[in-house]
Structure 1
């Protein structure tokens, strides 16, 4: 497996973990996981390395966003609970 393929697999796993952890456990989460899976399948059809890297960066940034929003939400709830 190439280094690029390993990078794609790592980002894919991280994004699915973030979706599983932070997206509501409803049909919405299932649909979102299906969307992520379909997008990564489409990555395999790309041949331009810069396009692939751009898509990988997008997925990485979205994972970071999901995790960050959840973290900030937890901070707000803890402050509200502590000082509210």
Structure 2
């Protein structure tokens, strides 16, 4: 495998680290919104639905913020390594 191809694979391997964090954050955020707005019911107890929607919404926001922070670090690393 040529060095150019290895660099491309290495870049996308690094990028996958933040892409999956952003995807998990988006999934949690959408679950929180759909349960919170009443489109989905996960249980018969309304208070449990609110609790689950609040937690998944908060963790979704946290994962998205963490994903963008990791993205910034990884893109700086890729730039510094001249890949």
- Which category describes the TM-score, using the shorter chain as reference length? 0.3 to 0.5
Larger of the two Rg values belongs to structure: 2
TM-score (norm 2): 0.44
